[in-house]
């Protein structure tokens, strides 16, 4: 097998031809990107430096925040560059590196969210055995399995697509290199193997995790409704509702992107959901976990008070 690629770069059509730099969109997505990075890294720092957060649930949360930050960084900076300069060309190698990173993170997150739901199931439905069943070792193994699954799917898909030939059109109807649909459509060779592997992986990385999430939360809801303590119910619902919102946002947009039929009519709709998936979701998730988790809010308030106290003391010394 040989790759007969004759083109050296692709053209990202994005939201149009990008004939002129679009400063307004650039400013909007720059703010979104900064908020995403700040929010997710705050979660990571909280988990790392606060001993109270050294638990399996927050280990998974830190992994999720890291993935969201990486996903934004894999896609948004190139889009910002295109919006600012109008240069929508991307090198052949850079395009596939972008896809490889994106596919790895997407595959990892699919299973990590399922692992997080299993963790919540053990914590709420089997509280007395939780420390034994969900040990540090098991939480790290589950996180590692999620990362291994993501690496496996991205490596397989990228290698399959790299064997395709690109000898004619080089315009990608997207704002980043999503090789599952957009890149293979401009190939001048047989894409059957890519289509088959994409179809298989899409269902493997959606249906089993969703089934685990569904069964876990069915048991969780039944257990919560049987709880007589109103305070206990509120705490359990507060902890689980944030994860359910994140799961709904992620899997909802993921299935709309990759399970809807590929037609020209839904191309722009998919582009919108893809934008929500890669830009807005990484910004929203830290807010959801921060606003709906009392432990995170308490830690942030403590940080804020310490910062104000430090700045007041520093200013007092400066004026003296």
Taking only the tens of pLDDT, the chain with its 320 residues reads 445 556 778 888 876 654 456 788 888 899 999 999 998 998 888 888 887 778 888 889 889 999 999 999 999 998 898 888 888 888 888 888 999 999 999 899 989 999 989 998 998 888 888 888 888 888 889 999 999 999 999 999 888 888 877 777 788 878 888 766 667 677 777 777 887 888 888 888 888 888 998 899 888 888 888 876 777 677 667 767 777 888 888 888 877 777 666 666 666 677 777 888 888 888 888 877 765 566 666 666 666 566 566 556 655 555 55
- Name residue, tokens 């059109």: 169
9-12 and 89-91: which strand pairing?
A: antiparallel
**Both structure tokens of 123:** 């914590």
Residues in a beta bridge with 172: 12
Residues in a beta bridge with 12: 172
Q: How far apart are CA 237 and CA 224, in angstroms?
A: 8
Full set of structural domains in the chain with CATH: 9-259+266-299 (1.20.1070.10)
DSSP conformation letters of the chain? --------EEEE-TTS---S--HHHHHHHHHHHHHHHHHHHHHHHHHHH-GGG-SHHHHHHHHHHHHHHHHHHHHHHHHHHHHHH---EEEHHHHHHHHHHHHHHHHHHHHHHHHHHHHHHHHHHSGGGHHHHS-HHHHHHHHHHHHHHHHHHHHHHHHHHHTS---S--EESSSS--IIIIIGGG-SS--HHHHHHHHHHHHHTTHHHHHHHHHHHHHHHHHHHH---HHHHHHHHHHHHHHHHHHHHHHHHHHHHHTS---GGGHHHHHHHHHIIIIIHHHHHHHHHHHH-HHHHHHHHHHHHHHHHHHHHHHHHHH-
Closest CA to 290 of 33, 41, 43, 35: 43
Handedness of CA 183, 189, 193, 196 (dihedral sign): positive
pLDDT of residue 179: 60
Q: Give 184's contacts (C-beta < 8 A, 6+ positions apart).
A: 161, 164, 191, 194, 195, 198
- pTM of the predicted model, to two decimals? 0.84
171-172 and 89-91: which strand pairing?
A: unpaired
């Amino acid at each position: 097998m040989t790759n007969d690629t004759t083109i050296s770069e692709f053209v990202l059509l994005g939201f149009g031809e990008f004939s002129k730099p679009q400063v307004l969109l650039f400013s909007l997505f720059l703010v979104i990107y900064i908020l995403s990075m700040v929010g997710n890294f705050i979660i990571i720092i909280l988990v790392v430096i606060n001993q109270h957060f050294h638990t399996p649930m927050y280990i998974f949360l830190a992994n999720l925040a890291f993935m969201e930050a990486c996903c934004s960084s894999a896609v948004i900076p190139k889009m910002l560059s295109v919006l600012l300069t109008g240069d929508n060309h991307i090198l052949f190698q850079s395009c596939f590196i972008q896809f490889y990173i994106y596919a790895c993170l997407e595959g990892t997150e699919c299973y990590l969210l399922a692992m997080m739901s299993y963790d919540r199931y053990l914590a709420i439905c089997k509280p007395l055995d939780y420390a034994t069943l969900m040990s540090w070792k098991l939480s790290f193994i589950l996180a590692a399995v999620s990362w291994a699954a993501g690496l496996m799917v991205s490596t397989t898909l990228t290698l399959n697509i790299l064997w395709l030939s690109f000898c004619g059109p080089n315009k990608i109807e997207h704002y980043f290199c999503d090789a599952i649909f957009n890149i293979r459509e401009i190939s001048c060779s047989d894409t059957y193997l890519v289509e088959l592997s994409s179809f298989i992986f899409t269902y493997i990385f959606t249906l089993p995790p969703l089934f685990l999430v569904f069964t876990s939360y069915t048991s969780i809801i039944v257990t919560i409704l049987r709880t007589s303590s109103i305070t206990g119910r509120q705490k359990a619902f507060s902890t689980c509702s944030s994860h359910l919102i994140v799961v709904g946002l992620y899997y909802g947009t993921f299935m709309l992107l990759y399970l809807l039929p590929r037609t020209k009519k839904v191309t722009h709709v998919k582009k919108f959901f893809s934008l929500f998936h890669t830009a807005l979701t990484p910004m929203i998730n830290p807010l959801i976990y921060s606003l709906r988790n009392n432990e995170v809010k308490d830690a942030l308030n403590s940080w804020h008070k310490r910062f104000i106290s430090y700045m007041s003391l520093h200013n007092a010394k400066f004026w003296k």
